[in-house]
């Protein structure tokens, strides 16, 4: 009975902290919306204050409450009544959930702070790539620097650095050096692998299938993750991209997307309408960076148990 009485305040305190993390995430998510909208346009993320994207009217403070203001206004600007994208409150909600998840998983620790920062960077990159098909250097290079710094200040995420130092130099350095080694290995592996794949695709198909933005994004992700989790991110991101990509192409084909284009091309003797429709649908560009971002967030919260299960089967590190 006494144990139960002591556990209730502890549970209550944890719930309050998680709720505070969620609310803080909503506020930060509102700022991330500003980054998503302005960084691709090379505008300041500090000034001017938020404005309606349609009429340019400055958004008042009481209309800028995360999620709640969008709901109260019915998703429309108070001044011009034009619709405001639902992506804005969704980004705020996603950031709030990620903040709460980081607290619940890692607590108020340096590791928790590291993955909270990483989540913010991934949200900006993922949504920007989804909207603009762009992964801004300003975010990826900043993230790379933060990844190196935060990794050096937290425990190593895998054993690759220890293995390298032990095999090459026959001694194990201090933990910050090991963590930084892991970060450098992850960054080099992630960016290098995608660069090689991109060059190979260009040589094989004669046109680029992957931009350097994806390479720079994995430079950042690798600096946070180290080697093994970077590999898992690429593997999972490729799987997600393949499954969703096939589904999108089939959906566009079945919905008759660009049917008029295919019909005009067919009349010019370029092939049957059905075959041309499939070719057009298959050329639809999907944002690979968004799939990598989604995979990276999954690895943050589920990567450790997956790797522990895999290494228990294989006897690896």
Q: Global pTM?
A: 0.87
The count of domains in the chain is 2
138 and 34 in a common domain: no
Kindly report whether the peptide bond that precedes residue 48 is cis, defined as omega within 30 degrees of 0.
yes
> What 3-state class would DSSP assign to 208?
coil
Residues 121 and 251 in one domain: yes
Q: Do 78 and 122 fall into the same domain?
A: no
Tokens coding 302: 């589920």
Among 103, 121, 140, residue at a domain's last position: 103
* Same domain? 130 vs 177: yes
27 and 159 part of one domain: no
Q: By three-state DSSP, how is residue 83 classified?
A: strand
Whether residue 214 is found in the same domain as residue 96 = no
Predicted confidence pLDDT, tens digits, the chain (317 residues):
445 445 556 556 788 889 999 999 999 999 999 999 999 988 888 887 777 777 777 878 777 889 998 888 888 888 888 888 899 999 999 999 999 999 999 999 999 999 999 999 999 999 999 998 899 999 999 999 999 999 999 998 888 878 887 888 777 888 889 999 999 999 999 999 999 988 876 677 665 656 788 999 999 999 999 999 999 999 999 999 888 888 887 887 777 777 777 778 777 877 776 777 777 777 777 788 999 999 999 999 998 888 777 667 766 55
Same domain? For 134 and 21 the reply is no
Do 133 and 245 have their domain in common?
A: yes
Buried/exposed code over 148-184 (b: 16+ C-beta within 10 A; e: otherwise): bebbbebebbbbbbbebbeeeeeeeeeeeebbbbbbb
pLDDT at res. 1: 44
Residue among 143, 168, 232, 223 nearest 191 (CA): 223
| Domain interval for residue 266 | 109-317
Report pLDDT for 264: 81
Q: Quick one: pLDDT at residue 14?
A: 81
The number of C-alpha atoms within 13 Å of 283 and in the hemisphere containing its C-beta is 12
Residue that has been written with the tokens 């009544």 in this structure: 81
Single out the residue in 76, 103, 130 at which a domain terminates: 103
End-to-end CA distance of the chain: 44
Q: % helix / strand / coil in the chain, to the nearest 5?
A: 75, 0, 25
């Amino acid at each position: 009975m006494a144990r139960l009485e002591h556990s209730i305040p502890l549970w209550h305190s944890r719930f309050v902290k998680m709720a505070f993390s969620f609310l803080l995430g909503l506020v930060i998510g509102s700022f991330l919306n500003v980054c998503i909208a302005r960084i691709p346009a090379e505008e300041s993320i500090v000034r001017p204050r938020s404005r309606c994207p349609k009429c340019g009217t400055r958004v008042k403070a009481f209309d800028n409450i995360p999620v709640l203001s969008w709901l109260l206004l019915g998703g429309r600007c108070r001044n011009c009544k034009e619709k405001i994208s639902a992506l804005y409150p969704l980004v705020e909600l996603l950031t709030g959930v990620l903040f709460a998840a980081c607290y619940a998983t890692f607590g108020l620790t340096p590791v928790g702070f590291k993955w909270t920062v990483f989540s913010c960077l991934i949200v900006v990159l993922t949504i920007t790539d989804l909207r603009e098909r762009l992964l801004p250097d300003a975010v990826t290079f900043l993230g790379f620097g933060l990844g190196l710094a935060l990794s050096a200040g937290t425990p190593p995420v895998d054993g690759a650095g220890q293995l390298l130092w032990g095999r090459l130099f026959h001694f194990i350095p201090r933990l910050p050096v090991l963590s930084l080694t892991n970060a450098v290995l992850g960054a080099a592996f992630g960016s290098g692998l995608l660069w090689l794949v991109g060059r190979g695709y260009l040589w094989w198909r004669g046109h680029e299938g992957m931009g350097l933005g994806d390479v720079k994004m994995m430079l950042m992700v690798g600096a946070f993750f180290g080697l093994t989790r970077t590999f898992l991110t690429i593997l999972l991101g490729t799987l997600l991209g393949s499954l969703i990509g096939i589904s999108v192409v089939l959906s566009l084909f079945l919905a008759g997307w660009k049917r008029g284009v295919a019909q005009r091309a067919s009349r010019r003797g370029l092939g049957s309408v059905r075959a041309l429709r499939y070719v057009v649908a298959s050329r639809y560009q999907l944002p690979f960076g968004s799939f990598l971002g989604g995979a990276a967030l999954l690895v943050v919260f589920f990567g450790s148990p997956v790797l522990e299960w895999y290494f228990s089967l294989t006897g690896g590190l």
